[in-house]
Structure 1
Amino acid sequence: MNKKRFMAFVACAFALVAAFALVGCGGTSAQTAGSAAGSASAGSDDSADIKTLTVGFDQSYPPYGFVGDDGEFTGFDIELATEVAKRCGWELKLEPIDWDAKDSLLNSGAINCIWNGFTMEGREDDYTFSDPYMLNGQVIVVKKDSGIKSLDDLAGKTVITQTDSAAEDVLSGDKADLAATFASLETIGDYNTAFMQLESGAVDAVACDLSIAQYQLAAKPDEYVQLDEMLSEEHYAVGFKKGDDALASKVTETLKEMDKDGFVKDLCEKYADYGISYDNWVLK
């Protein structure tokens, strides 16, 4: 082999080795990048890394969230949220909201959870939820002297419920046939006003959460009665923006700890006169 051919051979061999090396490095880099991307993706949920838990709630929703006699926000869910924030080292900010605006407030970051007797069934695709913590249901409340004894007796009657509530969802969904028998199904901004309408005789019945019914019956046992048949059975959970899984998990685990050490049971007993029962607590 002459010198020129030898030098050409060496150059060709060098280029070939370099090419294989480049491919090998490229493959390694791609795998490393892929692994890094996967790790970043897996660890990208930093939703629990917060300093302030901003709770959106309806301030006219006793016994879960309302204004107490001292003018301060209080309620079963408010006290749960307060204790969770304390145990997690978060500052708590209570944000009374227009219930119709809850989704835009949550998605914009103005609040980072909805904690207010919030029914999860039928909303699973719209929020990330904590584990359910309280059994709930949708029921009908009427005046004791109304003569209404069953759901069938609501035919031709005026029924009212809260706007964008679980009761409204049920009566426009699974119980739409029942609602079709009403003289009308009206909606209003809050349940306190709905029960004022019932008391005045402006409407014949209120469709509401079981907890709301229990609260109203506890306050006025001689005025109202709850129909035996429920419209639906469901659960309360804390609602977070879709994808805030770490924050939802942190709240769930903290609630479990609060149940184990007796805090939840004591709180249920505190609100027993408002219709809250530890028998309905489901998060263990």
Structure 2
Amino acid sequence: MNKLSALIAAPLLAGLLLSACGKKEEAPVAAEAPAPAASKIVVGLDDHFPPMGFRDESNQLVGFDIDMAREAAKRLGVEVEFKPIDWSAKEAELNGKRIDVLWNGLTITEERKQNIGFTAPYLENHQIVIVATNSPIKTKAELAGKIVGVQEGSSAVDAVKKDPAGNTLKELKQFGDNVTALMDLSAGRLDAIVVDEVVGRYYAAKKPGEYTVLEENFGTEEYGVGVRRDDTELLAKIDRAMADMKADGAAAKISEQWFGANIVK
């Protein structure tokens, strides 16, 4: 290399060395931390729905579904909070994230499946017809021209409307809860009520001789726990806990306490 070339090359080499020394390696991008697992499940319910969920004489929430939810939460290692809601607005409460699940005798229907996800069914239920014991009504056909009560937002509403006998009623009167509907039946302001079998038979047994359950009903349905459609992880966990409860007899024990028999599906 001649002297001129060396003079030109020296600054270039120095620049390259300085550039190499000054370059810092980029720090690796930290992996996004997984979202912490929920430590509590908020259960939305109608607290006037015995024996599924209601308040006892001490104003404490009790019921079959209350006990089932507590047992499932214990197995999932989370706290459970019960939040009474307006049952007619249950889907809005769930999808608005004010509650995490609907667990209170919730009937699985194709229409509801469009808006919420369901666990596997855990109970089979019927929509029964209750009349006063002295009523002449013996069949669904004899409800023609009569006033029939149902709970607002319940599956009884849809069951009656879908049945041909429902088109013959004088009025389908909706109530905030089944207790008020039964009071109107006892007072003679209603000719009959249509209600979930688990609820209707519970109330009828409390007042023997006052009510009669017709042999015909407005259809069979299944109960499931409702979750948000995108909350697939919670759905899978509850399904697994419920399956374990059925397998080891815990669900049967709870059922026998409330119904006198194992009616868990």
What is the TM-score with the length of structure 1 in the denominator? Answer: 0.78
Letter of the 1:182 partner, please give it.
Answer: L
Please tell me whether the aligned partners of residues 91 and 115 of structure 2 are also in contact (alpha carbons under 8 angstroms): no
Is residue 106 of structure 1 aligned with residue 89 of structure 2?
A: no
What is residue 254 of structure 1 aligned with on the other side? 241
What is residue 113 of structure 2 aligned with on the other side? 124
Distance 2:76 2:102 in 1: 18
Higher CA-based Rg: 2
Is residue 231 of structure 1 aligned with residue 243 of structure 2?
A: no
Deviation at 1:218, TM superposition (A): 1.6
What is residue 152 of structure 2 aligned with on the other side? 163
Structure 1 residues without counterparts, runs of 5 or longer: 1-43
The secondary structure found in structure 2 opposite 1:269 is helix
Is residue 92 of structure 1 aligned with residue 73 of structure 2?
A: no
What is residue 192 of structure 2 aligned with on the other side? 205
Distance 2:235 2:184 in 1: 37
Distance 2:51 2:255 in 1: 11
The secondary structure found in structure 2 opposite 1:100 is helix
Distance 1:108 1:50 in 2: 17
Alignment of 1:272-283 (within 5 A): 272=259, 277-278=261-262, 280-282=263-265
Structure 2 residues without counterparts, runs of 5 or longer: 1-33
Structure showing the higher strand proportion among its residues:
2
What is the TM-score with the length of structure 2 in the denominator? Answer: 0.83
Deviation at 1:272, TM superposition (A): 2.2
How many aligned residue pairs are there?
232
* Aligned sequence identity (%): 35
The secondary structure found in structure 1 opposite 2:42 is strand
Structure showing the higher helix proportion among its residues:
1
Deviation at 1:126, TM superposition (A): 1.6
Deviation at 1:205, TM superposition (A): 0.4
The secondary structure found in structure 1 opposite 2:202 is helix
What is residue 13 of structure 2 aligned with on the other side? none
Any runs of at least 4 consecutive aligned residues in structure 1 with deviations exceeding 2 A, and if so which? none
1:115-161 Cα deviation digits (max 9, x unpaired): 00000123222210010000011111111110111001111111010
